[in-house]
Amino acid sequence: MLGVSHTRRGRVFGGICIVLVAAVPLLGQRTGGILGRIETAPLPAGKRRAVATAYSEHNFARIESILAGTVTPDVPAGHAAELEALLGAIEFLGGRMVLSVQSFRRSDSLQSLDDQDRFTLAMALVALNDGKGARAELNRLNGSHPGEPIYLYWLGRLDYDQRLYSEAVKKFKRVISLDPNSVLGYDNLGLSFDMMGLPGEARSAFEKAVALNRKLPAPSPWPPLNLGSLLLRLQQFHEAEDSLRESLKYNPRFALAHYHLGRAMENQGRDEAAIGEFKSAAALDATFAEPLYSLGLLYRRLGHSAEAESALDEYKRRKDGAR
């Protein structure tokens, strides 16, 4: 099961980038958030109100329609750049990453993006898996602000995604030196050590991430999940169970944690509990195939042939759908 767990974790680890990206505009916008930026946009009052209304309704196509044609040759370059950057930020929030990048690029050609918009551009490029483009923007930001851990953190993430684990370790250690309470720094340091085949170092980093995570107002389920996954592979099943239950305490609907908890249960001889966890994982994520494979093998071992074949048939269906 080692290969399955790593494959799944890699897929979700890449996907969590999108979750983090979704929060970035909240960090990258001026005082008053995106609505405050709309209110001060260089537009006629009626268009500002229309854009604000469309934004509150999440009608991003309508915003694009309203702003279409507002950038004309007679519009001052600074105003045109702000309108393009505003559209880039709005498109980002709407998950329209290609359009977001295009708008930011047009803005940058008129007037250099400020740090906040450049960072959002970098995150849009990350979401599009354009590592080269994202790295160029993040290197520029990091060069201007070497004491800001957020830029270095994302550069480390790009290293990790490109399997440059030693480089990632250096960057995450630097992140931690700049911010000793960085849960993300320690958690990603652990992931990098793990991929380098250094389980002892990985465990120490994960344990630090878990301890810091507990102190957050809204702890993430990921640090205890990553620790639990490592402990499973180290065959420390009781400790893995504790960590995975902590992950589920923070997010009871976390399919990956249910799946790994099922593996921990099965390895402790608690087959009925394992069946329940595998079923929960499969039900919570309709694209997640591995719990059904584990469920099918467990049913087969228990002599429940019909249930085994049903689970394995659904596993094959999901795998075929993913391809």
Instruction: Please say whether the beta carbons of 91 and 99 come within 8 A.
Output: yes
Quick one: pLDDT at residue 140? Answer: 97
What residue type is assigned to position 191 of the chain? L
Domains of the chain with bracketed CATH: 1-145 (1.25.40), 148-219 (1.25.40.10), 221-323 (1.25.40.10)
Instruction: Please say whether the beta carbons of 178 and 149 come within 8 A.
Output: yes
Q: What is the residue-level pLDDT of the chain in tens, covering all 323 positions? A: 223 333 344 444 444 444 444 445 444 445 468 888 999 999 999 999 999 999 999 898 888 888 877 877 888 999 999 999 999 999 999 899 999 999 999 999 999 999 999 999 999 999 999 999 999 999 999 999 999 999 999 999 999 999 999 999 999 999 999 999 999 999 999 999 999 999 999 999 999 999 999 999 999 999 999 999 999 999 999 999 999 999 999 999 999 999 999 999 999 999 999 999 999 999 999 999 999 999 999 999 999 999 999 999 999 999 998 87
Using a cut of 0.95, tell me whether the model's pTM lies above it. Answer: no
Backbone angles phi, psi at 218, to 5 degrees: -130, 85
Quick one: pLDDT at residue 292? Answer: 98
